[in-house]
């Protein structure tokens, strides 16, 4: 083996938080002199950044790992890393299951990858899963896009939804300071980025752990204040944020979004269930009436706002009538996008051991019925764009049609139109929508938008 060309490969599973962590870990590896290898079979360091939100997400990791563990027998120089939420959940147990592993590291350790790898290169098998305070890091992430970027705002989750592993694997909430966040965004703008997405499991809970209160007794630092604080960074044209929890979504935040021109009119606010009894058992801390009021208020201020959400079907004890309340909520609101999932019992969560689990058959039947409705509603919602002129921020070439470019409208639907990526990447283009599908659009360019500050 030559050491001159050290290559790494990262496969990322799961949510945007994991994608952002992977970009940071890739930055660390590049700083250490590794080069990206698209093909894991040509890499000396393979990192799986894993997800354990549902059982099928976790199983996928084991099948990938199995293949590389075999390869390691022929190639002992190969370094195998499991990072992310499966690593945190399983810890040492992962080493027993896959003894070929060199490093098991939880999500809070992403910024420490260099140190941990050094220990591996010194001949150790390393497990890093203790709860730590996440350090501000100075490494430059290797970002997938040159147009849009993630910005971590709050790590962890302080909720205790009875189905969810996230608090176990991501730890307690840690908000970054407004100054650190703004500094990141300024740097991104200097590198030419046009859009930032502020990230957190419950982004609207931002700032609760930061010191200071206003004279009225409100937290000094909230997502609303943060949006005002970062809004004027020149060059950044769009600001998004995800994921929002209904419990913390205030009218003050809605007003700010309506008032601040860069904040896009798209809100991802999972409701999980449309039934109050189920919501209570899930420990979500709101009713379907409260959820509806939030959406009504958003639509009062921003009638055209896109609304997306997550929902779970087949939670333990869910009756047919309760499931129908979820259908009713999905039908009444008319989501632009709804991520649906059948409930999956997760180790270490309260609901997993309740004896009122539903059959796989019932769960998959409900999932299909909900998905059917979701498609109909999304198609209806897409209709409003027909013939309209929308602003598209161009991100890439359409991989399926090289004569087209693609990007998102402010409302977040992916939109395709004819154009040359070399000319248009990172540009905002006014596009007349000529074709609509439930989750994407096609159009023709009308004009390049003026330079914005």
Least Å distance between CB 349 and ligand SF4? 9
Q: How far does CA 4 lie from the centroid of its chain? A: 36
Q: Which stretch binds ligand F3S (CB under 6 A): 3-11, 51-59, 90-98, 133-141?
A: 51-59
Choice between 128 and 166, CB closer to ligand SAH: 166
Q: Which stretch binds ligand SF4 (CB under 6 A): 154-162, 356-364, 384-392, 445-453?
A: 154-162
Is 166 among the residues that bind ligand F3S (CB under 6 A)? yes
227-231-236 Cα angle (round to 5):
125
Per-residue binder mask for ligand F3S (CB under 6 A), 171-190, x = binder: --------------------
Residues 352-387 as b or e (16 or more Cβ within 10 Å = b): beeeebbeeebbebbbeebeebbeebbeebbeebee
CB atoms within 10 A of CB 451: 8
Least Å distance between CB 201 and ligand F3S? 7
Is 281 among the residues that bind ligand SF4 (CB under 6 A)? no
The site for ligand SAH (CB under 6 A) is made up of: 53-54, 163-164, 166, 201-202, 243, 245, 270, 272, 310, 312, 341, 343-344, 346
31 contact choice in ligand F3S, ligand SF4, ligand SAH, none (CB below 5 to 8 Å, kind-dependent): none
167 contact choice in ligand SAH, ligand SF4, ligand F3S, none (CB below 5 to 8 Å, kind-dependent): ligand SF4
Give the residue from 211, 217, 202, 138 showing the smallest Cα distance to 178: 211
Phi-psi region of 252 (alpha: psi -120 to 50; beta: other; left: phi over 0): alpha
Least Å distance between CB 85 and ligand F3S? 3
Site for ligand F3S in 84-123 (CB under 6 A): 84-85
Choice between 261 and 348, CB closer to ligand SAH: 348
Choice between 46 and 358, CB closer to ligand SAH: 358
Is 15 among the residues that bind ligand F3S (CB under 6 A)? yes
Give the residue from 46, 1, 88 showing the smallest Cα distance to 347: 88
Is 14 among the residues that bind ligand F3S (CB under 6 A)? yes
**Token pair for 432:** 């007349």
Q: How far apart are alpha carbons 19 and 308 in whole angstroms?
A: 20
Is 167 among the residues that bind ligand SF4 (CB under 6 A)? yes
Q: Which DSSP state fits 263?
A: B
Q: Where are the alpha helices (DSSP H) in 334-384?
A: 360-383
Element containing residue 116 per DSSP (H, E): helix 113-121
Residues 410-421 as b or e (16 or more Cβ within 10 Å = b): bbbbbbbbebeb
Choice between 53 and 392, CB closer to ligand SAH: 53
Least Å distance between CB 157 and ligand SF4? 4
Least Å distance between CB 414 and ligand SF4? 25
Choice between 243 and 325, CB closer to ligand SAH: 243
β-bridge mates for residue 298, sequence order: none
Is 52 among the residues that bind ligand F3S (CB under 6 A)? yes
Least Å distance between CB 147 and ligand SAH? 25
CB 338 within 8 A of CB 311: yes
Residue 198 makes CB contacts below 8 A (sequence gap 6+) with 151, 153, 181, 223, 226, 239, 240, 241, 242
Least Å distance between CB 89 and ligand SAH? 12
Give the residue, chosen from 23, 159, 173, 204, that forms a contact with ligand SF4 under the rule CB under 6 A.
159
Element containing residue 79 per DSSP (H, E): strand 79-83
Is 204 among the residues that bind ligand SF4 (CB under 6 A)? no
End-to-end CA distance of the chain: 51
Site for ligand F3S in 238-297 (CB under 6 A): none
Interacting residues toward ligand F3S by CB under 6 A: 14-15, 17-18, 51-53, 84-85, 165-166, 169-170
Site residues, ligand SF4 (CB under 6 A) = 157, 159, 161, 164, 166-167, 201-202, 245
């Amino acid at each position: 083996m030559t050491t001159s060309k050290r290559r790494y490969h990262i496969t990322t599973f799961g949510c945007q938080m994991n994608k952002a962590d992977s970009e940071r870990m890739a930055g660390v590896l590049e700083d250490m002199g590794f080069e990206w290898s698209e093909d894991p079979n040509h890499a000396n360091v393979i990192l799986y950044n894993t997800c354990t939100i549902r059982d099928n997400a976790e199983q996928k990791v084991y099948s990938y790992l199995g293949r590389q563990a075999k390869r390691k027998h022929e190639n002992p120089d190969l370094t195998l890393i499991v990072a992310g939420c499966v690593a945190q959940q399983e810890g040492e147990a992962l080493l027993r299951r896959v003894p070929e592993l060199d490093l098991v590291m939880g999500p809070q350790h992403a910024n420490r990858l260099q140190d941990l790898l050094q220990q591996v290169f010194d001949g150790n098998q390393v497990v890093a899963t203790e709860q730590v305070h996440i350090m501000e890091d100075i490494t430059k992430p290797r970002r997938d896009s040159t147009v849009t970027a993630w910005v971590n705002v709050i790590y962890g989750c302080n909720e205790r939804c009875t189905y969810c592993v996230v608090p176990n694997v991501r730890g307690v909430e840690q908000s970054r300071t407004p100054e650190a966040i703004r500094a990141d965004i300024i740097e991104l703008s200097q590198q030419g980025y046009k859009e930032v997405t502020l990230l957190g499991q419950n982004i609207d809970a931002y700032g609760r752990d930061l010191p200071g209160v206003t004279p009225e007794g409100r937290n000094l630092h909230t997502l609303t204040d943060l949006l005002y604080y970062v809004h004027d960074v020149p060059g950044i044209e769009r600001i998004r944020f995800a994921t929002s929890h209904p419990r913390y979504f205030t009218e003050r935040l809605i007003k700010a979004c309506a008032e601040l021109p860069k904040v896009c009119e798209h809100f991802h606010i999972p409701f999980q269930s449309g039934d109050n009894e189920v919501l209570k058992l899930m420990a979500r801390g709101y009713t379907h009436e409260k959820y509806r009021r939030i959406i009504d208020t958003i639509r009062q201020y921003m009638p055209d706002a896109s609304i997306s959400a997550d929902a779970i079907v087949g939670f333990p004890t869910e009756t047919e009538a309760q499931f129908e309340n979820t259908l009713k909520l999905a039908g009444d609101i008319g989501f632009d996008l709804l991520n649906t999932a059948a409930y999956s019992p997760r180790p270490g969560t309260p609901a997993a051991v309740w004896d009122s689990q539903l059959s796989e058959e019932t769960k998959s039947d409900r999932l299909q019925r909900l998905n059917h409705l979701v498609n109909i509603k999304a198609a209806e919602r897409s209709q409003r764009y027909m013939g309209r002129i929308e602003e598209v921020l161009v991100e890439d070439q359409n991989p399926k049609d090289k004569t087209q470019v693609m990007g998102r409208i402010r409302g977040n639907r992916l939109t395709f139109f004819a154009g040359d990526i070399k000319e248009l990447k990172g540009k905002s283009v006014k596009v007349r929508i000529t074709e609509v599908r439930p989750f994407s659009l096609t159009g023709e360019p009308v004009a390049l938008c003026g330079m914005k500050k």
